[in-house]
Amino acid sequence: MTTTHRTASVHLGSDPGAGPQIAVIGAGVSGLVAARQLATTGAQVTVFEAADHVGGQLRAATVAGHRVDVGAESVFTAAPGPLQLLEELGLEEELVGANRATTWIWTERGLRPLPDGFTPAGPSRLGPVLRSRVLSPVGLLRAGLEPLLPASRGGPDVAVGEELARRFGSEVVDRLVDPLLGGLHAGDVRTLSLQAATPQLAALTAKHRSLLLRRRPTPSTGPAFVTLTSGMGTMTERLATSSAGVEVRLGTRISAVTREAGRLRLSVDGQRPIDVDGVVVATSAAVARELLSEGSPVAAATLGELRAASVVVAALAYPARAAELPAIAGGTGILVPSTSPQLLKAATFLSTKWPHHAHSDHVLIRASAGRAGDDRAIELDDEPLIERLHGELAQATGLDADPLEVTVQRWPTTMPQLEVGHHERLATIRSALARDLPGVVVAGAPYHGPGLSSCLRSATGAATTLTTALQETHA
């Protein structure tokens, strides 16, 4: 239960005459990016972080002496934002591009390559789909009918899986879209919103009668993904230390945001409450719901409707000879459809995918498990979890040695599910906050999706909204 302290409050910032005092709750990438932007407007910004470190889902762990990301692993270079921010933070020298190699799809008949040009928007050419042998002849024929179908009618939001099944047939969705897009979101493509979870695809379907026949931009020759050699957490560490005008308080858990005497009041675990002019809530939706339950019951109730899946990441170090196995030597990883009985959702062969992880002593593999509606992995203890993941990796690749060392990172109710109707829920949250708690905005993955570019867009949008609201209040 949330307790609001009624004791005397304290103020943030040393100079009450300076810019507005703003609290950001959560020092993940979203909170830190919002804080950085707000500070450039002259606001006095303090970021409160419950943990003893910044970064949230950007986190590395050590396995067999190697630093490995056990949260976000890479940045998609085609999406705007993150790459530019990494360069702005002076991290260009740490950037490393992913090697291009096959991504495997797990099928009952063994591993098959993800067809060239297959993206979350479905196939862009049928030749590679035919050669990959993932679809049955009937499924392939059905996919080939796409150019003959009528255009999308627009109208209310639908599930991304529903739209792609209408265009390409169910087999394309179950065998290719589900492991690729469903895997990225740890979700069910039959419930994820076309408009909210895949806005680029929504724009394409609105514009083109056929996704197969549309003219496609020339594919970039550079790497599709990049990462940082010291781990993605360096991004948030650099944000926390290099953003002028931003103070970060670690180990400080906020328990409520309410309105008291015309200002916003933060209740802080074990400390006196703090009064501020503006608040960015950049936590999970579940935490946001608790924080706002007293101040805005309507926003809190709608936040409670935003689901999140639990995922688990295991980083495994195998003897170096594993690098010679054809599946590992020739591929960057495996995607597993949700219809398969496997616990494994995806595996990344780090040593094949990333030049800086090609070690002479070990082969590093990152296995992930858990998705919406499947809590088997998060509920297992480490030992049976590792045994199961290793067994499935061995079955898929022919690995014949046990892992030498394993690190497990659990992410309970972390991967946001942007389900059909998400934009309406977001509009309800925003209008309830504007009415009940003016000066409070929400930012982060639960609202705009889990990709880092979505988080950046969410954070900068929230910071802009708050700046405008504060200017109007003080005009």
Ligand X SMILES: Cc1cc2nc3c(=O)[nH]c(=O)nc-3n(C[C@H](O)[C@H](O)[C@H](O)COP(=O)(O)OP(=O)(O)OC[C@H]3O[C@@H](n4cnc5c(N)ncnc54)[C@H](O)[C@@H]3O)c2cc1C
Catalog residues that contact ligand X under the rule CB under 6 A: 25-31, 48-51, 56-58, 71-74, 253-254, 282-284, 287, 311, 313, 411, 414-415, 444-445, 450-452, 455
Q: Pick from 63, 27, 50, 34: which is nearest to 364 by CA? A: 63
- Provide the CB-side half-sphere exposure for 35 (13 A, CA): 31
| 97 token code pair | 């591009």
Q: In angstroms, what is the minimal distance from the CB of 171 to ligand X?
A: 27
3-state secondary structure of 71: coil
Taking the least distance from each CB to ligand X, the nearer of 30 and 302 is 30
Cβ 167 to ligand X shortest distance, Å: 26
Query: Two tokens at 326?
Result: 């054809």
- CB nearer to ligand X: pick between 192 and 211: 192
Q: Which is nearer to ligand X, 46 or 195 (CB)?
A: 46
Shortest distance, position 38 Cβ to ligand X, whole Å: 15
CB of residue 314 vs ligand X: minimum separation in angstroms? 11
Taking the complex as a whole, how short is the minimal distance between the CB of residue 135 and ligand X, in angstroms? Answer: 27
* Of residues 211 and 232, the one with the C-beta less far from ligand X: 232
Cα distance between residue 475 and residue 465, in whole Å: 15
Instruction: Work out how close the CB of 77 gets to ligand X at its nearest, in angstroms, rounded to a whole number.
Output: 11
To the nearest whole angstrom, how small is the minimum distance from the Cβ of residue 462 to ligand X? 11
- Alpha-carbon distance of 218 to 225, in angstroms, equals 17
- Of 294, 292, 268, the C-alpha closest to 280 is 292
* Beta carbon nearer to ligand X, 143 or 456: 456
**CA distances in angstroms from 14 to 121, 243, 245, 247, listed in the order given:** 51, 18, 12, 12
Residues sharing a CB contact under 8 Å with residue 392, sequence separation 6 or more, in sequence order? 342, 343, 344
Half-sphere exposure of 15 (CA within 13 A, CB side): 7
Query: Which C-beta is closer to ligand X: that of 351 or that of 454?
Result: 454
**Cβ atoms of residues 236 and 62 within 8 Å:** no
Handedness of CA 445, 379, 365, 236 (dihedral sign): positive
- Report the residue number, 68 or 211, with the smaller CB distance to ligand X: 68
